[in-house]
């Protein structure tokens, strides 16, 4: 069963995460999303990629923690590597990428949103967070570097060490998102799509390549750091916290 759908409108593609109830990410979903990103990257007629949630409650909860708890270490590592690779592909895409955050975006869901060029969040209803610290987990070096690029070191410390669920107001204050839109009024978002989808694909590619050049070395997650993340994941303290997480069906 496919958990990723996409709709093409002229030079714009909208990708929907459709794994109810909370669009949680597992290896199957990430493989599917990764394959689609590769396909779209090679499509010369596509300028703009929009990533959004298939329901109005969650953009994405992040990794499917209850499912991950029963995985062998090697399989979990494959899942994490696929998440990181997908984020990297989105971040380095030659297309303009936008997250339309129409619900909560936490953990891995926030990582996907951070990987896009721009983030627009539905006003006063959704929240966003890199809240791994609250469940005893650390975070990947590439994600931290991307976050620092977007909001700076000071704000990154507050976001990561606080682990708070951020309102649209707070996310705007940090510079984590670019703007908000109203639930029943897509006119603002529609105007953004119109603006970016009309740009020259050659110019977009050249500008993005130049903008991302200095970031390339920062996006490679050292294997030892990944192993340390896994050690923390499988530690007794973290496992006890993770077992309290229940995804309501």
pLDDT in tens, 31-63: 999 999 999 999 999 999 999 999 889 999 999
pLDDT at 249 over 60: no
- Residue 38 and residue 94 in contact, taking contact as beta carbons nearer than 8 Å: no
pTM for the structure as a whole: 0.95
Lowest-confidence region among 179-183, 197-201, 243-247 = 243-247
**pLDDT tens sequence across 62-81:** 999 999 999 999 999 999 99
**Measured distance CA(23)–CA(215) in Å, rounded:** 29
- Comparing 49-63, 160-174, 231-245, the range with the smallest average pLDDT is 231-245
In the predicted structure, residue 217 carries a pLDDT above the cut 80: no
CA terminus-to-terminus distance, the chain = 17
| Model confidence at 2: pLDDT above 90 | no
With a CB cutoff of 8 Å and minimum separation 6, the contacts of 45 are: 11
Helix axes 223-233, 73-91, angle to 10 degrees: 130
Domain boundaries, the chain: 4-197
Cα–Cα distance measured from residue 238 to residue 244, given in angstroms and rounded to the nearest whole number: 10
Alpha helices in the chain (DSSP H): 27-41, 65-68, 73-91, 108-115, 141-162, 168-174, 187-197, 201-212, 223-233, 236-242
Model pLDDT, residue 203: 94
pLDDT reported for residue 248: 57
CATH number, domain 4-197:
3.90.226.10
Is the pLDDT at 99 greater than 90, yes or no? yes
């Amino acid at each position: 069963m496919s958990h990723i759908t996409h709709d093409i409108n002229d030079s714009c593609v909208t990708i929907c995460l459709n794994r109810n109830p909370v669009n949680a990410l597992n290896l199957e979903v990430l493989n599917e999303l990764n394959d689609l990103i590769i396909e779209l990257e090679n499509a010369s007629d596509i300028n703009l990629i929009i990533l959004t949630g298939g329901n109005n409650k969650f953009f994405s909860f992040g990794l499917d923690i209850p499912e991950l708890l029963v995985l062998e270490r090697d399989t979990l590592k494959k899942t994490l590597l696929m998440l990181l690779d997908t984020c990297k592909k989105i971040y380095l895409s030659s297309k303009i990428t936008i997250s339309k955050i129409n619900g909560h975006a936490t953990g891995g869901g926030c990582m996907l949103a951070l990987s896009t060029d721009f983030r627009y969040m539905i006003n006063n209803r959704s929240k966003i967070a890199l809240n791994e610290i609250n469940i005893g987990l650390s975070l990947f070096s590439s994600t931290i570097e991307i976050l620092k690029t977007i909001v700076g070191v000071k704000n990154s410390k507050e976001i990561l060490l606080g682990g708070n669920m951020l309102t649209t107001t707070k996310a705007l204050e940090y510079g984590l998102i670019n703007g908000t839109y109203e639930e029943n009024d897509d006119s603002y978002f529609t105007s953004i799509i119109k603006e970016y989808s009309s740009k020259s694909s050659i110019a977009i590619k050249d500008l993005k390549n130049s903008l991302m050049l200095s970031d390339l070395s920062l996006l490679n997650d050292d294997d030892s750091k990944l192993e340390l993340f896994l050690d923390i994941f499988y530690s007794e303290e973290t496992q006890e916290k993770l077992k309290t997480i229940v995804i309501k069906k």
